[in-house]
Chain A
Amino acid sequence: MLTGLAVIGVARFLQQRQDYENATARSYQREIVARNRLAEGRRPAAARAAVVSQQHQRQALRDEISSETRDTALLVGAGLIAGLTGAALLFTGLISSMRRPLEDLVDASGRLAGGDLDARVKVGGLAETATLGGAFNEMAEELQRRAGERDQLERMKDEFVLTASHELRSPLTSVQGFAELLLLEREKLSPKQAETVEVILDNTRHLVRLLNDLLDLARSDAGRLTIRPVETEATGLIEDAVRTMRAQLDARGQELTLEVAHDLPQIEADRDRIRQVLVNLLTNANEYCPQGANIGVKARRDGAEVEIDVIDDGPGIPEQQLEHIFERFSRGDAGETQRVGGTGLGLAISKSLIELHGGTIGAESTPGEGSIFRIRLPVVIPARVEAI
Protein backbone atom coordinates (compact mmCIF):
# COMPACT_ATOMS: atom_id res chain seq x y z
CA MET A 1 0.00 0.00 0.00
CA LEU A 2 2.80 2.34 0.92
CA THR A 3 4.56 1.37 -2.26
CA GLY A 4 1.34 2.42 -4.05
CA LEU A 5 1.74 5.84 -2.44
CA ALA A 6 5.22 6.11 -3.94
CA VAL A 7 3.84 5.22 -7.37
CA ILE A 8 1.11 7.88 -7.06
CA GLY A 9 3.78 10.41 -5.98
CA VAL A 10 5.92 9.64 -9.02
CA ALA A 11 2.88 10.01 -11.35
CA ARG A 12 1.99 13.38 -9.76
CA PHE A 13 5.57 14.58 -10.11
CA LEU A 14 5.60 13.68 -13.80
CA GLN A 15 2.27 15.54 -14.35
CA GLN A 16 3.54 18.68 -12.53
CA ARG A 17 6.74 18.58 -14.53
CA GLN A 18 4.67 18.47 -17.77
CA ASP A 19 2.46 21.40 -16.66
CA TYR A 20 5.54 23.45 -15.73
CA GLU A 21 7.21 22.86 -19.07
CA ASN A 22 4.02 23.78 -20.99
CA ALA A 23 3.58 26.98 -18.97
CA THR A 24 7.26 27.93 -19.42
CA ALA A 25 7.03 27.34 -23.19
CA ARG A 26 3.95 29.58 -23.45
CA SER A 27 5.74 32.30 -21.43
CA TYR A 28 8.74 32.20 -23.83
CA GLN A 29 6.37 32.53 -26.83
CA ARG A 30 4.74 35.62 -25.27
CA GLU A 31 8.17 37.13 -24.55
CA ILE A 32 9.27 36.53 -28.17
CA VAL A 33 6.06 38.21 -29.45
CA ALA A 34 6.78 41.20 -27.16
CA ARG A 35 10.48 41.38 -28.28
CA ASN A 36 9.36 41.36 -31.94
CA ARG A 37 7.05 44.27 -31.23
CA LEU A 38 9.92 46.07 -29.47
CA ALA A 39 12.21 45.46 -32.46
CA GLU A 40 9.53 46.85 -34.82
CA GLY A 41 9.21 49.92 -32.54
CA ARG A 42 5.50 49.38 -31.90
CA ARG A 43 4.45 50.56 -28.38
CA PRO A 44 7.97 49.98 -26.96
CA ALA A 45 7.10 50.77 -23.34
CA ALA A 46 4.29 48.16 -23.22
CA ALA A 47 6.48 45.60 -25.07
CA ARG A 48 9.40 46.09 -22.63
CA ALA A 49 7.01 45.70 -19.69
CA ALA A 50 5.60 42.48 -21.26
CA VAL A 51 9.16 41.02 -21.61
CA VAL A 52 9.95 41.75 -17.95
CA SER A 53 6.56 40.41 -16.88
CA GLN A 54 7.11 37.10 -18.75
CA GLN A 55 10.58 36.76 -17.15
CA HIS A 56 9.02 37.24 -13.71
CA GLN A 57 6.28 34.78 -14.48
CA ARG A 58 8.83 32.08 -15.45
CA GLN A 59 10.81 32.75 -12.25
CA ALA A 60 7.57 32.24 -10.29
CA LEU A 61 6.90 29.00 -12.21
CA ARG A 62 10.47 27.78 -11.43
CA ASP A 63 10.03 28.56 -7.71
CA GLU A 64 6.73 26.77 -7.67
CA ILE A 65 7.98 23.64 -9.48
CA SER A 66 11.06 23.28 -7.28
CA SER A 67 8.98 23.46 -4.10
CA GLU A 68 6.48 20.98 -5.54
CA THR A 69 9.33 18.69 -6.65
CA ARG A 70 10.68 18.70 -3.09
CA ASP A 71 7.26 17.77 -1.70
CA THR A 72 6.81 15.03 -4.26
CA ALA A 73 10.36 13.75 -3.64
CA LEU A 74 9.59 13.61 0.10
CA LEU A 75 6.39 11.77 -0.63
CA VAL A 76 8.10 9.33 -3.00
CA GLY A 77 11.00 8.86 -0.55
CA ALA A 78 8.67 8.20 2.33
CA GLY A 79 6.71 5.77 0.19
CA LEU A 80 9.82 3.97 -0.96
CA ILE A 81 11.28 3.69 2.54
CA ALA A 82 7.99 2.39 3.85
CA GLY A 83 7.79 -0.06 0.95
CA LEU A 84 11.34 -1.29 1.41
CA THR A 85 10.85 -1.67 5.14
CA GLY A 86 7.74 -3.69 4.48
CA ALA A 87 9.56 -5.86 1.94
CA ALA A 88 12.48 -6.31 4.32
CA LEU A 89 10.13 -7.33 7.13
CA LEU A 90 8.38 -9.75 4.83
CA PHE A 91 11.70 -11.16 3.59
CA THR A 92 13.12 -11.58 7.08
CA GLY A 93 10.04 -13.55 8.01
CA LEU A 94 10.42 -15.64 4.88
CA ILE A 95 14.11 -16.29 5.55
CA SER A 96 13.62 -17.23 9.15
CA SER A 97 10.84 -19.64 8.23
CA MET A 98 13.17 -21.26 5.63
CA ARG A 99 16.36 -21.18 7.70
CA ARG A 100 15.39 -23.84 10.25
CA PRO A 101 14.38 -26.48 7.66
CA LEU A 102 17.41 -25.66 5.51
CA GLU A 103 19.76 -25.99 8.46
CA ASP A 104 18.13 -29.34 9.25
CA LEU A 105 18.68 -30.43 5.66
CA VAL A 106 22.35 -29.44 5.71
CA ASP A 107 22.82 -31.27 9.00
CA ALA A 108 21.01 -34.40 7.79
CA SER A 109 22.95 -34.43 4.49
CA GLY A 110 26.18 -34.29 6.45
CA ARG A 111 25.12 -37.21 8.64
CA LEU A 112 23.92 -39.21 5.62
CA ALA A 113 27.20 -38.61 3.81
CA GLY A 114 29.00 -39.71 6.97
CA GLY A 115 27.23 -43.08 6.78
CA ASP A 116 24.34 -42.48 9.18
CA LEU A 117 21.58 -43.97 7.05
CA ASP A 118 18.98 -43.19 9.74
CA ALA A 119 19.35 -39.45 9.03
CA ARG A 120 15.94 -37.87 8.26
CA VAL A 121 14.49 -34.34 8.41
CA LYS A 122 11.21 -33.10 9.89
CA VAL A 123 8.98 -32.19 6.96
CA GLY A 124 7.10 -28.88 7.43
CA GLY A 125 7.17 -25.11 7.04
CA LEU A 126 6.92 -23.50 3.62
CA ALA A 127 5.75 -25.58 0.69
CA GLU A 128 9.17 -25.40 -0.97
CA THR A 129 11.18 -26.54 2.04
CA ALA A 130 8.59 -29.19 2.83
CA THR A 131 8.94 -30.61 -0.71
CA LEU A 132 12.73 -30.53 -0.38
CA GLY A 133 12.58 -32.27 3.00
CA GLY A 134 10.20 -34.90 1.64
CA ALA A 135 12.50 -35.58 -1.31
CA PHE A 136 15.49 -35.86 1.01
CA ASN A 137 13.73 -38.38 3.23
CA GLU A 138 12.70 -40.47 0.22
CA MET A 139 16.30 -40.51 -0.98
CA ALA A 140 17.60 -41.52 2.46
CA GLU A 141 14.94 -44.25 2.66
CA GLU A 142 16.03 -45.67 -0.71
CA LEU A 143 19.73 -45.53 0.23
CA GLN A 144 19.01 -47.37 3.46
CA ARG A 145 17.00 -50.05 1.68
CA ARG A 146 19.77 -50.66 -0.86
CA ALA A 147 22.48 -50.70 1.81
CA GLY A 148 20.45 -53.28 3.71
CA GLU A 149 20.13 -55.49 0.63
CA ARG A 150 23.85 -55.16 -0.10
CA ASP A 151 24.81 -56.04 3.49
CA GLN A 152 22.58 -59.08 3.38
CA LEU A 153 24.14 -60.24 0.09
CA GLU A 154 27.62 -59.72 1.54
CA ARG A 155 26.74 -61.77 4.61
CA MET A 156 25.30 -64.55 2.44
CA LYS A 157 28.45 -64.58 0.32
CA ASP A 158 30.71 -64.73 3.38
CA GLU A 159 28.61 -67.49 4.95
CA PHE A 160 28.66 -69.40 1.68
CA VAL A 161 32.42 -69.25 1.35
CA LEU A 162 32.95 -70.27 4.99
CA THR A 163 30.50 -73.18 4.73
CA ALA A 164 31.74 -74.31 1.32
CA SER A 165 35.38 -74.27 2.40
CA HIS A 166 34.43 -76.22 5.52
CA GLU A 167 32.44 -78.82 3.59
CA LEU A 168 35.12 -79.22 0.93
CA ARG A 169 37.84 -79.79 3.48
CA SER A 170 36.66 -83.24 4.58
CA PRO A 171 36.68 -84.88 1.13
CA LEU A 172 39.99 -83.16 0.34
CA THR A 173 41.43 -84.60 3.55
CA SER A 174 40.50 -88.07 2.32
CA VAL A 175 41.85 -87.58 -1.20
CA GLN A 176 45.12 -86.11 0.00
CA GLY A 177 45.47 -88.62 2.83
CA PHE A 178 44.93 -91.70 0.66
CA ALA A 179 47.18 -90.40 -2.12
CA GLU A 180 49.92 -89.91 0.48
CA LEU A 181 49.21 -93.40 1.79
CA LEU A 182 49.71 -94.87 -1.68
CA LEU A 183 53.02 -93.07 -2.05
CA LEU A 184 54.19 -94.47 1.30
CA GLU A 185 54.28 -97.82 -0.49
CA ARG A 186 55.79 -96.47 -3.65
CA GLU A 187 57.85 -99.64 -4.16
CA LYS A 188 54.63 -101.58 -4.75
CA LEU A 189 53.53 -99.18 -7.52
CA SER A 190 54.65 -99.14 -11.14
CA PRO A 191 56.47 -95.92 -12.14
CA LYS A 192 53.38 -94.92 -14.16
CA GLN A 193 51.09 -95.47 -11.14
CA ALA A 194 53.42 -93.55 -8.84
CA GLU A 195 53.44 -90.64 -11.28
CA THR A 196 49.64 -90.69 -11.45
CA VAL A 197 49.36 -90.53 -7.68
CA GLU A 198 51.84 -87.62 -7.65
CA VAL A 199 49.53 -85.76 -10.04
CA ILE A 200 46.52 -86.39 -7.79
CA LEU A 201 48.50 -85.15 -4.80
CA ASP A 202 49.79 -82.03 -6.55
CA ASN A 203 46.31 -81.06 -7.64
CA THR A 204 44.81 -81.75 -4.25
CA ARG A 205 47.41 -79.54 -2.60
CA HIS A 206 46.63 -76.83 -5.12
CA LEU A 207 42.92 -77.08 -4.30
CA VAL A 208 43.67 -76.87 -0.59
CA ARG A 209 45.79 -73.79 -1.20
CA LEU A 210 43.00 -72.18 -3.21
CA LEU A 211 40.49 -73.04 -0.51
CA ASN A 212 42.69 -71.57 2.23
CA ASP A 213 43.19 -68.40 0.19
CA LEU A 214 39.47 -68.01 -0.51
CA LEU A 215 38.73 -68.56 3.16
CA ASP A 216 41.29 -65.90 4.15
CA LEU A 217 39.76 -63.46 1.67
CA ALA A 218 36.23 -64.14 2.93
CA ARG A 219 37.44 -63.58 6.47
CA SER A 220 39.20 -60.41 5.39
CA ASP A 221 36.00 -59.11 3.73
CA ALA A 222 33.95 -59.96 6.79
CA GLY A 223 36.50 -58.18 9.00
CA ARG A 224 37.29 -61.54 10.58
CA LEU A 225 40.84 -61.98 9.36
CA THR A 226 42.70 -61.77 12.63
CA ILE A 227 46.24 -62.24 13.84
CA ARG A 228 47.47 -63.67 17.13
CA PRO A 229 50.72 -61.81 17.70
CA VAL A 230 53.35 -62.94 20.20
CA GLU A 231 56.87 -61.74 21.01
CA THR A 232 58.98 -63.63 18.55
CA GLU A 233 62.57 -63.87 17.28
CA ALA A 234 62.49 -62.28 13.78
CA THR A 235 65.60 -64.20 12.73
CA GLY A 236 64.12 -67.56 13.67
CA LEU A 237 60.88 -66.73 11.89
CA ILE A 238 62.67 -65.89 8.63
CA GLU A 239 64.92 -68.97 8.82
CA ASP A 240 61.85 -71.09 9.45
CA ALA A 241 60.11 -69.83 6.28
CA VAL A 242 63.28 -70.34 4.23
CA ARG A 243 63.63 -73.89 5.57
CA THR A 244 60.05 -74.67 4.48
CA MET A 245 60.93 -73.62 0.93
CA ARG A 246 64.35 -75.33 0.59
CA ALA A 247 63.10 -78.47 -1.17
CA GLN A 248 61.14 -76.56 -3.83
CA LEU A 249 64.05 -74.17 -4.50
CA ASP A 250 66.50 -77.06 -4.79
CA ALA A 251 64.14 -78.84 -7.17
CA ARG A 252 64.53 -75.95 -9.62
CA GLY A 253 68.26 -75.60 -8.97
CA GLN A 254 67.74 -72.11 -7.53
CA GLU A 255 70.36 -70.65 -5.21
CA LEU A 256 69.04 -69.01 -2.04
CA THR A 257 71.15 -66.49 -0.12
CA LEU A 258 70.04 -65.50 3.37
CA GLU A 259 71.46 -62.29 4.84
CA VAL A 260 70.06 -61.48 8.25
CA ALA A 261 71.55 -58.62 10.28
CA HIS A 262 72.93 -59.63 13.70
CA ASP A 263 70.96 -56.99 15.57
CA LEU A 264 67.53 -58.12 14.33
CA PRO A 265 65.21 -57.61 17.33
CA GLN A 266 62.34 -59.55 18.81
CA ILE A 267 59.16 -58.48 17.03
CA GLU A 268 55.49 -58.67 17.87
CA ALA A 269 54.02 -60.92 15.19
CA ASP A 270 51.72 -63.82 14.39
CA ARG A 271 54.36 -66.41 13.48
CA ASP A 272 52.10 -68.55 11.27
CA ARG A 273 50.83 -65.52 9.33
CA ILE A 274 54.25 -63.91 8.76
CA ARG A 275 55.63 -67.29 7.69
CA GLN A 276 52.64 -67.59 5.32
CA VAL A 277 53.57 -64.22 3.74
CA LEU A 278 57.28 -65.09 3.40
CA VAL A 279 56.47 -68.53 1.99
CA ASN A 280 54.08 -66.87 -0.48
CA LEU A 281 56.81 -64.46 -1.68
CA LEU A 282 59.38 -67.26 -1.93
CA THR A 283 56.87 -69.51 -3.74
CA ASN A 284 56.27 -66.74 -6.30
CA ALA A 285 60.04 -66.30 -6.81
CA ASN A 286 60.45 -70.07 -7.07
CA GLU A 287 57.68 -70.47 -9.64
CA TYR A 288 58.12 -67.34 -11.77
CA CYS A 289 61.94 -67.46 -11.95
CA PRO A 290 63.68 -69.86 -14.32
CA GLN A 291 65.75 -72.87 -13.28
CA GLY A 292 69.00 -71.84 -11.63
CA ALA A 293 67.87 -68.29 -10.71
CA ASN A 294 69.32 -66.51 -7.68
CA ILE A 295 66.91 -65.72 -4.87
CA GLY A 296 67.82 -63.74 -1.80
CA VAL A 297 66.26 -62.89 1.54
CA LYS A 298 67.73 -59.88 3.34
CA ALA A 299 66.60 -58.61 6.72
CA ARG A 300 67.76 -55.62 8.71
CA ARG A 301 66.59 -53.33 11.46
CA ASP A 302 65.54 -49.81 10.52
CA GLY A 303 64.72 -47.85 13.66
CA ALA A 304 61.48 -49.16 15.11
CA GLU A 305 60.92 -51.39 12.09
CA VAL A 306 62.28 -54.57 10.59
CA GLU A 307 62.74 -54.60 6.85
CA ILE A 308 62.65 -57.91 4.99
CA ASP A 309 63.45 -58.07 1.26
CA VAL A 310 62.78 -61.04 -0.99
CA ILE A 311 64.93 -60.51 -4.07
CA ASP A 312 65.25 -62.44 -7.30
CA ASP A 313 67.09 -62.06 -10.62
CA GLY A 314 64.17 -63.50 -12.59
CA PRO A 315 62.27 -62.04 -15.56
CA GLY A 316 60.87 -59.11 -13.56
CA ILE A 317 57.37 -57.65 -13.68
CA PRO A 318 56.16 -55.22 -16.41
CA GLU A 319 55.22 -51.80 -15.03
CA GLN A 320 51.50 -52.05 -15.84
CA GLN A 321 51.27 -55.34 -13.92
CA LEU A 322 53.32 -54.07 -11.02
CA GLU A 323 50.69 -51.42 -10.25
CA HIS A 324 48.01 -54.06 -9.69
CA ILE A 325 50.12 -56.82 -8.25
CA PHE A 326 48.58 -56.71 -4.76
CA GLU A 327 45.03 -56.86 -6.12
CA ARG A 328 43.01 -60.05 -6.18
CA PHE A 329 43.41 -62.40 -9.10
CA SER A 330 46.18 -60.20 -10.48
CA ARG A 331 48.67 -62.58 -12.04
CA GLY A 332 51.42 -62.79 -14.58
CA ASP A 333 50.53 -63.14 -18.28
CA ALA A 334 48.40 -66.07 -19.42
CA GLY A 335 51.29 -68.25 -20.63
CA GLU A 336 53.10 -67.89 -17.33
CA THR A 337 50.07 -68.63 -15.16
CA GLN A 338 49.35 -71.84 -17.10
CA ARG A 339 52.77 -73.07 -16.06
CA VAL A 340 52.85 -71.57 -12.57
CA GLY A 341 49.35 -72.43 -11.35
CA GLY A 342 49.09 -70.06 -8.37
CA THR A 343 45.74 -68.79 -7.13
CA GLY A 344 46.24 -65.08 -7.83
CA LEU A 345 45.20 -64.40 -4.25
CA GLY A 346 48.46 -64.83 -2.37
CA LEU A 347 49.72 -61.25 -2.61
CA ALA A 348 46.31 -59.73 -1.82
CA ILE A 349 46.16 -61.83 1.35
CA SER A 350 49.80 -61.09 2.17
CA LYS A 351 49.03 -57.37 1.99
CA SER A 352 46.05 -57.74 4.35
CA LEU A 353 48.13 -59.77 6.81
CA ILE A 354 51.04 -57.32 6.82
CA GLU A 355 48.65 -54.40 7.28
CA LEU A 356 47.04 -56.19 10.24
CA HIS A 357 50.52 -56.10 11.78
CA GLY A 358 50.67 -52.34 11.14
CA GLY A 359 53.30 -52.87 8.45
CA THR A 360 53.61 -52.30 4.71
CA ILE A 361 54.47 -54.42 1.68
CA GLY A 362 55.62 -53.16 -1.72
CA ALA A 363 57.26 -54.33 -4.91
CA GLU A 364 59.87 -52.94 -7.29
CA SER A 365 60.97 -54.52 -10.50
CA THR A 366 63.09 -53.99 -13.59
CA PRO A 367 61.95 -56.25 -16.43
CA GLY A 368 64.82 -58.52 -17.43
CA GLU A 369 66.73 -57.90 -14.21
CA GLY A 370 64.53 -59.07 -11.37
CA SER A 371 62.18 -58.02 -8.58
CA ILE A 372 62.31 -56.95 -4.95
CA PHE A 373 59.39 -57.45 -2.57
CA ARG A 374 59.89 -55.41 0.59
CA ILE A 375 58.06 -55.97 3.88
CA ARG A 376 58.34 -53.44 6.69
CA LEU A 377 57.08 -54.63 10.06
CA PRO A 378 56.94 -52.52 13.21
CA VAL A 379 58.84 -54.04 16.12
CA VAL A 380 55.79 -53.36 18.25
CA ILE A 381 52.33 -53.45 16.63
CA PRO A 382 50.69 -49.99 16.96
CA ALA A 383 47.93 -49.93 19.60
CA ARG A 384 45.14 -49.69 17.06
CA VAL A 385 45.48 -51.10 13.60
CA GLU A 386 42.27 -50.62 11.61
CA ALA A 387 40.58 -53.88 10.57
CA ILE A 388 41.48 -54.47 6.96
Chain B
Amino acid sequence: MARILVADDSETILLLLRTRLEMEGHEVITATDGQEVIDNVSASDPPDILLLDAMMPGKSGIDALRELRATGIQTPVLIVSAHTEGGDDADHGDLSISGYIAKPIDFEALFAKITELAG
Protein backbone atom coordinates (compact mmCIF):
# COMPACT_ATOMS: atom_id res chain seq x y z
CA MET B 1 0.00 0.00 0.00
CA ALA B 2 1.42 3.35 -1.05
CA ARG B 3 0.53 7.02 -1.12
CA ILE B 4 0.32 7.90 -4.79
CA LEU B 5 0.05 11.29 -6.46
CA VAL B 6 -1.82 10.99 -9.75
CA ALA B 7 -1.69 13.89 -12.23
CA ASP B 8 -3.81 14.15 -15.38
CA ASP B 9 -5.70 17.02 -17.00
CA SER B 10 -8.72 14.79 -17.61
CA GLU B 11 -11.12 14.49 -14.64
CA THR B 12 -12.49 11.18 -16.01
CA ILE B 13 -9.06 9.61 -16.16
CA LEU B 14 -8.31 10.86 -12.64
CA LEU B 15 -11.56 9.27 -11.44
CA LEU B 16 -10.68 6.00 -13.19
CA LEU B 17 -7.16 5.88 -11.75
CA ARG B 18 -8.33 6.86 -8.26
CA THR B 19 -11.04 4.16 -8.25
CA ARG B 20 -8.74 1.38 -9.47
CA LEU B 21 -5.83 2.34 -7.22
CA GLU B 22 -8.07 2.69 -4.14
CA MET B 23 -9.58 -0.72 -4.89
CA GLU B 24 -6.01 -2.05 -4.68
CA GLY B 25 -5.71 -0.43 -1.27
CA HIS B 26 -3.55 2.57 -2.18
CA GLU B 27 -4.04 6.12 -0.97
CA VAL B 28 -4.55 8.58 -3.83
CA ILE B 29 -4.01 12.32 -4.13
CA THR B 30 -4.72 14.04 -7.45
CA ALA B 31 -3.38 17.00 -9.42
CA THR B 32 -4.54 18.48 -12.73
CA ASP B 33 -1.33 20.21 -13.80
CA GLY B 34 2.40 20.35 -13.17
CA GLN B 35 2.26 23.19 -10.66
CA GLU B 36 -0.16 21.25 -8.42
CA VAL B 37 2.25 18.32 -8.57
CA ILE B 38 5.10 20.50 -7.31
CA ASP B 39 2.88 21.99 -4.57
CA ASN B 40 1.81 18.53 -3.41
CA VAL B 41 5.30 17.06 -3.36
CA SER B 42 6.59 20.01 -1.37
CA ALA B 43 3.75 19.68 1.15
CA SER B 44 4.25 18.28 4.65
CA ASP B 45 2.95 14.81 3.72
CA PRO B 46 4.67 13.98 0.39
CA PRO B 47 3.56 11.04 -1.79
CA ASP B 48 5.62 7.81 -2.15
CA ILE B 49 5.10 7.50 -5.89
CA LEU B 50 4.24 9.95 -8.68
CA LEU B 51 2.06 8.87 -11.59
CA LEU B 52 2.29 11.75 -14.08
CA ASP B 53 0.65 12.37 -17.42
CA ALA B 54 3.41 13.46 -19.81
CA MET B 55 1.27 16.07 -21.58
CA MET B 56 -0.77 18.52 -19.55
CA PRO B 57 -1.67 22.11 -20.47
CA GLY B 58 0.48 24.65 -18.68
CA LYS B 59 3.23 22.87 -16.81
CA SER B 60 3.49 19.28 -18.11
CA GLY B 61 4.39 16.22 -16.08
CA ILE B 62 7.87 16.25 -17.56
CA ASP B 63 8.36 19.98 -16.75
CA ALA B 64 7.24 19.41 -13.15
CA LEU B 65 9.52 16.40 -12.81
CA ARG B 66 12.48 18.36 -14.14
CA GLU B 67 11.93 21.05 -11.46
CA LEU B 68 11.54 18.46 -8.71
CA ARG B 69 14.71 16.60 -9.72
CA ALA B 70 16.57 19.94 -9.83
CA THR B 71 15.68 20.50 -6.16
CA GLY B 72 16.96 17.05 -5.25
CA ILE B 73 13.61 15.27 -4.80
CA GLN B 74 14.06 11.58 -5.66
CA THR B 75 10.45 10.29 -5.42
CA PRO B 76 9.98 7.39 -7.92
CA VAL B 77 8.02 8.41 -11.02
CA LEU B 78 5.88 6.58 -13.58
CA ILE B 79 5.00 8.54 -16.72
CA VAL B 80 1.62 7.96 -18.36
CA SER B 81 1.77 8.75 -22.04
CA ALA B 82 -0.79 8.85 -24.81
CA HIS B 83 1.93 7.64 -27.14
CA THR B 84 2.45 3.95 -27.56
CA GLU B 85 5.39 2.24 -25.99
CA GLY B 86 8.70 2.64 -27.72
CA GLY B 87 7.20 5.36 -29.88
CA ASP B 88 7.76 9.06 -29.94
CA ASP B 89 8.79 9.64 -26.32
CA ALA B 90 12.03 11.48 -26.07
CA ASP B 91 14.62 9.88 -23.86
CA HIS B 92 14.51 11.54 -20.45
CA GLY B 93 17.50 9.60 -19.15
CA ASP B 94 18.51 12.36 -16.74
CA LEU B 95 15.14 12.41 -14.91
CA SER B 96 15.41 8.83 -13.54
CA ILE B 97 11.94 7.76 -14.66
CA SER B 98 11.01 4.30 -13.31
CA GLY B 99 8.68 3.38 -16.16
CA TYR B 100 6.27 4.41 -18.90
CA ILE B 101 2.59 3.48 -18.94
CA ALA B 102 0.83 3.71 -22.32
CA LYS B 103 -2.79 4.73 -22.77
CA PRO B 104 -5.15 2.89 -22.71
CA ILE B 105 -3.78 1.74 -19.38
CA ASP B 106 -2.97 -1.91 -18.76
CA PHE B 107 -3.90 -1.87 -15.05
CA GLU B 108 -2.33 -5.24 -14.21
CA ALA B 109 1.01 -3.97 -15.53
CA LEU B 110 0.55 -0.67 -13.66
CA PHE B 111 -0.19 -2.45 -10.36
CA ALA B 112 2.85 -4.68 -10.81
CA LYS B 113 5.12 -1.65 -11.30
CA ILE B 114 3.65 0.13 -8.27
CA THR B 115 4.18 -2.93 -6.08
CA GLU B 116 7.78 -3.10 -7.30
CA LEU B 117 8.39 0.60 -6.51
CA ALA B 118 6.59 0.55 -3.16
CA GLY B 119 8.80 -2.46 -2.34
Contacts and interface: CB of A to CB of B under 8 A. Distances in A.
Interface residues of B, number: 18
Given A174-B12, A178-B16, A184-B23, A169 B86 contact: no
B16 A173 contact: yes
Contacts of A181: 16, 19-20
Given A166-B82, A273-B86, A173 B104 contact: yes
Interface in A147-182: 162, 166, 169-170, 172-174, 176-178, 180-181
B75 to A, nearest CB: 24
Given A169-B104, A172-B104, A270 B16 contact: no
Contacts of A228: 86
Given A180-B107, A181-B19, A174 B10 contact: yes
Contacts of B12: 174
Contacts, number: 49
A161 to B, nearest CB: 12
> DSSP majority for the B interface?
loop
A68 B83 CA distance: 102
Interface string B17-29: 0011001000000
B67 interface: no
A174 B107 contact: no
B104 A272 contact: no
B74 interface: no
Contact of A170 (B13, B19, B88, B107): B13
Contacts of A162: 88
Interface centre among A169, A219, A227, by most B CB within 10 Å? A169
B119 interface: no
A215 interface: yes
B98 interface: no
A55 interface: no
Interface string B78-119: 000011111110000000000000011101000000000000
Contact of B88 (A169, A178, A224, A270): A224
Given A174-B10, A177-B16, A169 B87 contact: no
Interface of A: 162, 166, 169-170, 172-174, 176-178, 180-181, 184, 204, 208, 212, 215, 219, 224, 226-228, 270, 272-273
- Give me the 6 closest cross-chain CB pairs, A-B, nearest first: A177-B16, A173-B104, A169-B82, A173-B103, A176-B104, A174-B12
Given A166-B82, A177-B13, 7 more contacts: A169-B82, A169-B103, A173-B13, A176-B104, A180-B107, A227-B86, A228-B86
